[in-house]
Structure 1
Amino acid sequence: MLAHNRFIMASAGLRLVLLLLLLSVSLYQAAAKPSGSRGGQGSRKRLLLISFDGFRWDYDQDVDTPNLDQLVRDGVKAKYITPPMLTMTSPSHFTTITGRWVEDHEVVHNMMFNTQTNQKVPHKETLRRSEWWDNGVLPLWITAQNQGLKTASFYYPGGGANYSGQAVNRAVVEESGHPDDNETEWRQNIDTVLSWFSEEDFDLVTLYYGEPDNVGHARGPDHPDRKAIIRQIDRTVGYLRDSIRRRGLEAHLNVIITSDHGMTTVKKRPLVDEIVLNKYLNLLKLASFEILDYGGFGILTPRPGREQEVLEALAKAPNLTVYSKEDMPESFHLARSRRMPPVVVVADLGFNLNSRFIVYVNKGDHGFHNGEMDMKMIFRAFGPDFKKNFLSEPFDSVHIYPLMCRLLDIRAEPNNGSLEQTSDMLIHTHDGGARMSATMVTTFVFVAICTLIL
């Protein structure tokens, strides 16, 4: 009789353990599953990513910027972040939105080019050219859409392309010649994208501004006009925050403000000798393709059998470093690119590359080594998931992608970033409580089983 009672108790205990085990598994699965499915407005968070092209990491330090200063108190600031190598608009923006190095996503220049035909397409004309952007790596817009979210791009590079036949739910593409510095239009653009959140239920929107890049090129980073455009950006940030409050989005909208690269002063005659590469090698004779009159970064394809001759000739040129693609530093993350030509030239900071004669008129530029402080850029973030008054250590821009995936609570595509680099700036992880509950139940089940066995 005693043995029978023990058997009944053991059976009941085993059933309880199995029930708890099933509960544990269910809780774990619920915690692990991203909540990309569409729910009520109050049940999920939205994300606005804003990029100010060419906003160097220290541009707000010599200008009165009360709204950006308030963001430091109300949100997160990184000391600076490092763009990928290349420090150019299209490659860097696509690294942010894919979390992949340039050699993986293959947007290897602002210009779309073909080394076989010598085709060269200017930056703004590439923005709708899917063949330049669609190289097998999915940007965040498409990844989010595939998990049930609704996404949009306003002027953001890459937003106007198709990816394996998929388009961003809504894309506004900047036209060539469109002015970038109209403050009234800037506010209208904010009104537009915030209405997409509040009235049309969008989950992710990316918004791009072409300043302070343009004024940095035209006037130089130390010019008063650059300081004026930073004050305009600051007013725009204030307008953004007021608009978020007016629309009742404060509890639902996370905002990241960043950039793509910095800017440096171009060293020009009569103070220094500018680089003219044709002084050191006959480009017509030795090269079959080149993009050299484009800031601090150049690429070229030597004629068959002439690569070593080209490398040796350029090694004698001052104020630059020349690399064969195979010998580039691994930290560049460019060598595996199928598109990158065999020879890469990186000018010293502030020296522009000229091919046959001096044609460059810019007072400021980028495209230089991403380790240079003048190439570093800003990062600010605020919203319900971000800590307040938090200063982050520097990190690479490639790590923004997994952060955005966490904020949207979606599964990331394979990427080169790490959430560990940014998780400290979050108040909590979305699944932390559920995972803790699952862990506690699993522990309880384990203890119960051990008790029954003993």
Structure 2
Amino acid sequence: MVDVIALELSRRKRAACFKSNEHVVKEPIIFRVLDDYLPMELLHTSIGNGAVKQLIAVTGKTHQVYSQLRNHTPIPNVKIYYTTPKIGDLPEWYHYGKSVTVPDLVLVAQPGYAILTRDSRKQIPQRKPQEVLAGMSGYNNHYPEMLGVFLAYGPVFRKGHHKGPLQLCDIYALMCAILHIDGCHTSCGRILRVNDVLTNDARVALTIALPTSGRAPSEKMLLFIAVLVVYFYM
């Protein structure tokens, strides 16, 4: 997939190279086991291991699970949140809330910590007995050590320019603009936050089309969406 994007950028002679490392793998220091802090009979299913764990409580026990892990036996360096609308206390900048695929409760660990479940009957996916977790990703990117790297060079990019942290959705908007992709729904991405990485001529030449409601996303737009969710390890 990355080769396809690089080829397209090269063909249009707009960027010789770009590299986006949108997340960092952090070596866990301490493992927190959910079973040590919560009576597991209150829990129906726990989803995921590591930086984030979703919790599905037994029917009628959601608030009891929340209260147990928030007030009575909180997990050190791990915080529990409600995702349910109106009562949810998860910060808005997570862009993560209750839906058909997101349970009512979610645990979020600080960098260097990982959340595990010992009871395999309550865990999805189940870990293999011999599996060793050597590193974790998915931590809060507000921590400086979690910031990724964006490198680019080519005729549209300023030479030797250094910029501070970028939002991943802005990189998506930037790539859509460089390739003049029609129907590019940039969502929360804002080209004006990142267009200072472009040369003056490029900023003048590029026509930034704002998304129009009701327009179907193009195949190239979908291609970029796929690329942006791929993990790039440096």
Q: TM-score, normalised by structure 2?
A: 0.71
Match of 1:290 in 2: 46
Match of 2:90 in 1: 328
Percent of residue pairs bearing the same amino acid type: 26
Question: Which of these residues, 377, 401, 404, is aligned with residue 148 of structure 2?
Answer: 377
Question: Which of these residues, 152, 159, 168, is aligned with residue 397 of structure 1?
Answer: 168
1:154-303 to structure 2, matched below 5 A, reads 154=2, 193=4, 197=7, 203=8, 251-268=13-30, 274-283=31-40, 285-292=41-48, 294-303=49-58
The CA distance in 2 between the partners of 1:339 and 1:428, in whole Å, is: 44
Partner SS for 1:393: coil
Judging by fraction of residues, say which structure has more helix: 1
- Higher RCO structure, 1 or 2 (CA under 8 Å, sep 6+): 1
CA change 1:250–1:276 in 2 (3 A) is same
CA change 1:417–1:336 in 2 (3 A) is farther
Partner SS for 1:313: helix
Contact 1:250–1:384 (Cα < 8 Å) also in 2: no
Gaps of 5+ in 1: 1-152, 155-189, 198-202, 205-243, 269-273, 436-454
The CA distance in 2 between the partners of 1:433 and 1:275, in whole Å, is: 53
Q: TM-score, normalised by structure 1?
A: 0.38
The two structures, once aligned, show a CA RMSD in angstroms of 2.8
The CA distance in 2 between the partners of 1:403 and 1:336, in whole Å, is: 30
The CA distance in 2 between the partners of 1:251 and 1:414, in whole Å, is: 23
The CA distance in 1 between the partners of 2:108 and 2:206, in whole Å, is: 49
- The alpha-carbon deviation at position 253 of structure 1 amounts to 4.0
Match of 2:77 in 1: 319
Partner SS for 1:413: coil
- Note if 1:364 corresponds to 2:135: yes
Amino acid in the other structure paired with 1:376 = L
- Note if 1:428 corresponds to 2:200: yes
- The alpha-carbon deviation at position 430 of structure 1 amounts to 5.2
